[in-house]
Amino acid sequence: MTSTKKQILVPKEKAVFWLDKHGIWHNEHGKFEHPKIIRFFNTSIQKDDQGYHVYQVTDEIEEKVYFPYEDTALFVHDIIVEKQIKLILNTRAVMDLTPDQLFIKKDNLYCQTPEHLIKFTQHALVKLSRYIEEIDGRFCLKFNHTTHPIEEK
């Protein structure tokens, strides 16, 4: 006997939660506070051709909830410095920093990959700041004996 899961698709306009410009989840009652719930939401973020959504599968259902976000759905929450700088995203994905993907807009640091716009949280920016210098009026990333200018948009 073959069973199929019930599919639930919630459009962004009907989502009851959203992500603010600092990467903090909210609902009508305010900020999410419980760390396990925040971690669940962050690690459930996926993207398809219709946009970012929180995705979950149980024995009975497959659910996608497209959610509104103020700036971007992905955030660098932390960095690890080894031979390269590694970015830890809110989804818990880890990626190598590619310096030419960095840019500054409205006093915020972003990383633009072919697939995603990713914003640095305050915590990640503070950790990365030891490798950022201002040279001739431009911010640059200095790491491993190389200097990479950071574009301002």
Cβ–Cβ < 8 Å for 128, 120: yes
- Higher-confidence residue of 71 and 1: namely 71
Please determine, for residue 136, whether its predicted confidence score (pLDDT) is greater than 50: yes
* Per-residue confidence (pLDDT) for residue 2, from 0 to 100: 55
For residue 83, CA distances in Å to 86, 112, 141 come to: 9, 22, 15
Percent of the chain at pLDDT exceeding 70: 98
DSSP string spanning 94-150?
A: EEE--GGGEEEETTEEEEE-SS-EEEE-HHHHHHHGGGEEEETTEEEEEETTEEEE-
Please determine, for residue 1, whether its predicted confidence score (pLDDT) is greater than 70: no
CA angle, 147 then 148 then 149, to 5°: 120
Alpha carbon distance 47, 117 (integer Å): 12
Alpha carbon distance 22, 71 (integer Å): 8
pLDDT digits (tens, 9 = 90+) for 29-84: 999 999 999 999 999 999 999 999 999 999 999 999 999 999 999 999 999 999 99
Please determine, for residue 4, whether its predicted confidence score (pLDDT) is greater than 90: no
**Considering the entire predicted model, what is its pTM?**
0.92
Q: Please, what is the average pLDDT of the chain?
A: 96
Please determine, for residue 98, whether its predicted confidence score (pLDDT) is greater than 90: yes
